[in-house]
Amino acid sequence: MSWPDVPQVLDLVGIFVFAVSGALAAVRKRLDVVGMVVLAEITALGGGILRDLLIGAVPPAAFTSLGYVLVPLAASALVFFWHPQVTRLLPAVLLFDAAGLGLFCATGTVKALDHGLSPLHAVLLGVVTAVGGGVLRDMLSGQIPSVLYDRQLYAVPAMLGAAVTAAASSAGLHGGGVTAGAAVLAFALRALAMRHGWRAPRPRGVPD
């Protein structure tokens, strides 16, 4: 496998894991196979589509490669037939989800910077890339988006990874190593938050 192929493979791995989380959400909501596929696709691709539409990168990347559509379908099939087994593997799935979060916040920021956005706006779009699909999933399944109460830190690691990517770019540092480093930082914070139960603070006087 040549080096240019590696980012695309990692992208598809992240899409697969996000799609699994969307399909599992459909199982918890007792949706049928159509609802499962919709939630899987929107969770996996929603953030990237929102980013590309906002920066004018049309058609969005999700519509330029067959793999972006087929991978969520494969994840849906896996969950449809073997969701009890997938649920038992949920801790491992969550770790891969954290890896996808780190990867998407960093690559989303890089793409926004490449389209001429300021570092601040690129960070915002990096976060949108990482969490946008999950927000759409929660809205479609009729619940408050989990990012709004950020249990075990989700948006915060995405902000960290996006901010590090933008700061490095402003300092003249570019390339796959910088993107990978920012992704690893976001992944590490998310993984530590899951292990130790860290969460974003609430306003004073608001009970847990």
Which tops the pLDDT comparison, 98 or 150? 98
DSSP string, the chain: --TTHHHHHHHHHHHHHHHHHHHHHHHHTT--HHHHHHHHHHHHHHHHHHHHHHHT--S-GGGT-HHHHHHHHHHHHHHHHHHHHHHHTHHHHHHHHHHHHHHHHHHHHHHHHHTT--HHHHHHHHHHHHHHHHHHHHHHTTS--GGGTTTT-SHHHHHHHHHHHHHHHHTT--SHHHHHHHHHHHHHHHHHHHHHT--PPPPTT---
> H/E element holding 97?
helix 90-114
Amino acid type, 136: L
- Does the structure show a pLDDT above 70 at 1? no
**Average pLDDT, rounded, for the chain:** 87
Task: Give residue 5's pLDDT.
Answer: 58
Can you tell me the distance from the alpha carbon of 138 to that of 155, in angstroms, rounded to the nearest whole number?
15
Range in 25-34, 72-81, 82-91 with the lowest mean pLDDT: 82-91
Task: Report the C-alpha dihedral over residues 67, 98, 26, 108, rounded to 10 degrees.
Answer: -50
29 burial via Cβ count (<10 Å: 0-12, 13-18, 19+): middle
Task: Give residue 3's pLDDT.
Answer: 44
Task: Give residue 150's pLDDT.
Answer: 65
Q: How confident is the model at residue 115 (pLDDT cuts 50, 70, 90)?
A: very high
Task: Give residue 177's pLDDT.
Answer: 85
Give the residue-averaged pLDDT of 168-183: 88
Task: Give residue 2's pLDDT.
Answer: 44
| Both tokens assigned to 147 | 């990012």
Contact predicate 50/134, CB 8 Å:
no
Percentage of residues in the chain having pLDDT higher than 90 = 49
Taking only the tens place, the pLDDT of each residue in 13-29 is 889 988 998 898 899 88
Which tops the pLDDT comparison, 179 or 162? 162
Cβ count within 10 A of residue 11: 20
- Does the structure show a pLDDT above 80 at 104? yes
Which tops the pLDDT comparison, 7 or 54? 54
- Does the structure show a pLDDT above 90 at 4? no
Taking only the tens place, the pLDDT of each residue in 135-171 is 999 899 888 887 887 666 888 999 999 999 999 999 9
- Does the structure show a pLDDT above 90 at 207? no
Report CA 155 to chain centroid distance, whole Å: 10
